[in-house]
């Protein structure tokens, strides 16, 4: 017969196990939810680390405190992928993704901020936006992105190369149909060598797959592969075999993931994510394709000069926000001071080698058309088409699809700059070819469908 103390200990053990299972369930919701609603650069975004207390800004950071999320209003999360292969104490973020979830409509949107965007970092002046992390840590990165898009950023989640590899290995690898041979040398440590065909990728080879961008479509094809892989990874995490191994998976990746969320934040987010319809999730590149120009020699660097006002309007429209969009002040780098160059490339076909660039005059670029967005149009700002990118209509990995404009005509081909930030032939994040628009000196790279635009 059990003594009273034995019964108490047994009950405590049962309660502890129940709580542990509850935490595991929440982690599963958060893991699967975020994987499905985000592109995390070349990082497989995993789960949030159990952290007590609020993150403290690095010494010298001029960042403001993050806004408080009540659990009932929209929540915005900044996902940071950090390339720290050289153990740099102040690495730049290689990937900056904003995931926005609306608890009222049960919808989510994702905004991928191009890392070479030239924007004013508080306390430091104009830099590539991914420098904010190295200059002031995640807090300054949150504030910089918040200033840029004019939306509050409540939380951040950070991981790195090792975190991605560990997660994939912990689930036993992920089956992927590699769409082409991939070969690229990278310092002998992170070389990329993959062969075409369906295969189970371990962490090392999965990292190769999601990092590869050395083809005709560059970063745009890479982000498409990332979506493809993250979806497959999320499906693997939902299998009974992975759920059984969840405690060990969490312990494996825990050292590689950092966040400013506390336990109660995770509980609220986990409950919210479970209600989000992932099939309706849409994503957008920031700056949109008609809202930036290229400067090929900004202190020896090639950067994207964004039209900050257009970027803000695009984001607010996508989120259905009806507030007045503020025009930028001294955080808008003069667009007329940029140096522009363009190239026009033939439309690449799947598995074809990258075509050779053929320079053309910017004045000969054709104008394209765009259709109107489904986003809220009840704002106080007068609106015209602004591009958005929809991840739901992707049917091929690196191919292109036929699209028509609102009047039923096929769009003309866009143009390509001579940097790696934009794809050849005006291709959006989905690898879909569209016509290009040229406004305010912007170099068109193709205008995605379902878009809205505002006049300044």
Q: At what angle do helices 263-273 and 4-37 cross, to 10 degrees?
A: 60
Other residues' Cβ atoms within 10 Å of the Cβ of residue 23:
18
391 CB-near residues (< 8 Å, 6+ apart): 39, 110, 227, 281, 282, 283, 429, 430
Give the distance from CA 452 to its chain's centroid: 21
178-to-274, 397, 423, 432 alpha-carbon distances in Å: 30, 9, 20, 19
Taking Cα atoms as reference points, which of 347, 342, 345 lies closest to residue 433?
347
Directed axis angle between helix 246-253 and helix 161-170, to 10°? 160
Can you give the three-state secondary structure of 175-235, one letter per residue? EEEECCCEEECCCCCCCEEECCEEEEECHHHHHHHHHCCCCCCHHHHHHHHHHHHHHHHHH
Domain ranges, ordered by start, for the chain: 20-280, 293-392+404-456
Largest CA distance in the chain: 91
Given this model, what pLDDT does residue 291 score? 93
User: Cβ-count burial of 419 within 10 angstroms (0-12 exposed, 13-18 middle, 19+ buried)?
Assistant: middle
CATH number of the domain located at residue range(s) 20-280 in this protein: 3.40.630.190
At 433, phi and psi to the nearest 5? -85, 135
- Say if residues 290 and 310 touch (Cβ distance below 8 Å): yes
238 φ, ψ (degrees, to nearest 5): -85, -10
Give the pLDDT of residue 127. 95
Going by C-alpha positions, the residue among 302, 264, 449 that lies closest to residue 372 is 449
Cβ pair 286, 311 in contact under 8 A = yes
The predicted structure's pLDDT at residue 41 = 29
Q: How far is CA 104 from CA 51, 74, 268, 275, in A?
A: 28, 8, 14, 10
Per-residue pLDDT of the chain (456 residues; tens, 9 = 90+): 556 666 555 655 554 444 333 333 334 434 444 443 332 322 333 333 333 333 334 444 455 677 888 778 899 999 888 877 667 777 777 778 898 989 888 888 888 888 889 999 999 999 999 999 999 999 999 999 999 999 999 999 887 778 888 889 988 999 999 999 998 887 777 788 899 999 999 999 998 898 787 776 666 677 677 767 876 886 787 678 877 777 777 778 778 778 888 777 777 777 776 677 655 678 788 998 899 988 878 888 889 899 999 999 999 999 999 989 999 999 999 987 654 443 333 333 334 444 444 444 444 334 333 333 333 333 344 444 444 444 444 333 334 334 444 444 444 444 444 444 444 343 343 433 333 333 343 333 433 333 344 443
DSSP three-state, residue 113? strand
Structure tokens at 381: 């700002």
Cα separations (Å) of 372 from 114, 291, 310, 387, 452? 24, 17, 15, 9, 5
The first and second tokens of residue 60, run together, are 């010298």
Q: What's the pLDDT score for residue 267?
A: 72
Q: HSE (CB half, 13 Å, CA atoms) of 91?
A: 16
**Residue 267, token pair as written in the block:** 């509980």
Q: What pLDDT, on a 0 to 100 scale, did the predictor assign at position 124?
A: 96
Phi and psi at 248, nearest 5°, equal: -70, -35
Q: How far is CA 191 from CA 212, 225, 432, in A?
A: 10, 18, 28
Ramachandran bin of 274, using left for φ above 0, alpha for ψ from -120 to 50, beta for the remaining angles: alpha
Please report the pLDDT score of residue 438 as a whole number.
Answer: 38
């Amino acid at each position: 017969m059990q003594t009273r103390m034995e019964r108490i200990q047994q009950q405590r053990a049962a309660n502890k196990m129940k709580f542990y299972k509850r935490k595991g369930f929440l982690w599963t919701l958060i893991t699967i939810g975020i994987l499905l609603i985000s592109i995390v650069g070349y990082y497989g975004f995993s789960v949030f680390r159990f952290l007590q207390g609020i993150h403290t800004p690095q010494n010298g950071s001029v960042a403001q405190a993050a806004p408080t999320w009540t659990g009932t209003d929209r929540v915005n999360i900044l996902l940071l992928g950090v390339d720290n292969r050289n153990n740099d104490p102040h690495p730049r973020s290689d990937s900056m993704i904003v995931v926005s979830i609306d608890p009222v409509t049960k919808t989510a949107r994702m905004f991928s901020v191009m890392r070479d965007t030239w924007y004013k970092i508080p306390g430091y002046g104009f830099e590539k936006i991914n420098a904010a992390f190295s200059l002031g840590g995640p807090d300054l990165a949150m504030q910089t992105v918040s200033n840029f898009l004019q939306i509050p950023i409540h939380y951040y989640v950070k991981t790195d190369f090792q975190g991605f590899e560990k997660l994939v290995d912990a689930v036993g690898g992920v089956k992927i149909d590699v769409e082409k041979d991939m070969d690229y040398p990278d310092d002998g440590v992170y070389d990329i060598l993959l062969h075409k065909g369906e295969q189970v990728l371990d962490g090392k080879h999965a990292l190769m797959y999601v990092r590869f961008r050395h083809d005709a479509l560059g970063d745009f094809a890479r982000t498409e592969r990332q979506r493809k892989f993250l979806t497959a990874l999320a499906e693997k995490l939902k299998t009974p075999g992975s759920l059984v191994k969840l405690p060990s998976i969490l312990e494996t990746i825990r050292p590689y993931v950092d966040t400013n969320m506390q336990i109660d934040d995770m509980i609220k987010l986990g409950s919210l994510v479970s209600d989000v319809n992932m099939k309706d999730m849409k994503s957008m590149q920031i700056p949109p394709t008609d809202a930036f120009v290229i400067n090929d020699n900004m202190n020896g660097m090639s950067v994207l000069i964004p039209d900050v006002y257009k970027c803000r309007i695009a984001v607010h429209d996508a989120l259905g926000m009806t507030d007045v969009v503020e025009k930028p002040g001294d955080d808008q780098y003069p667009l007329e001071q940029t140096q522009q160059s363009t190239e026009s490339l033939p439309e690449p076909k799947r598995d074809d080698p990258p075509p050779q660039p053929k320079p053309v005059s910017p004045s000969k670029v054709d104008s394209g058309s765009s259709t109107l967005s489904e986003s809220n149009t009840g704002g106080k700002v007068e609106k015209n088409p602004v591009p958005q990118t929809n991840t739901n209509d992707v049917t091929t990995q690196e191919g292109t699809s036929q699209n028509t404009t609102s009047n039923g005509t096929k769009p003309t081909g866009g143009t390509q700059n001579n940097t790696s930030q934009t794809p050849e032939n005006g291709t959006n994040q989905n690898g879909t070819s569209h016509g290009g628009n040229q406004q305010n000196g912007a170099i068109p790279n193709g205008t995605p469908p379902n878009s809205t635009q505002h006049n300044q």
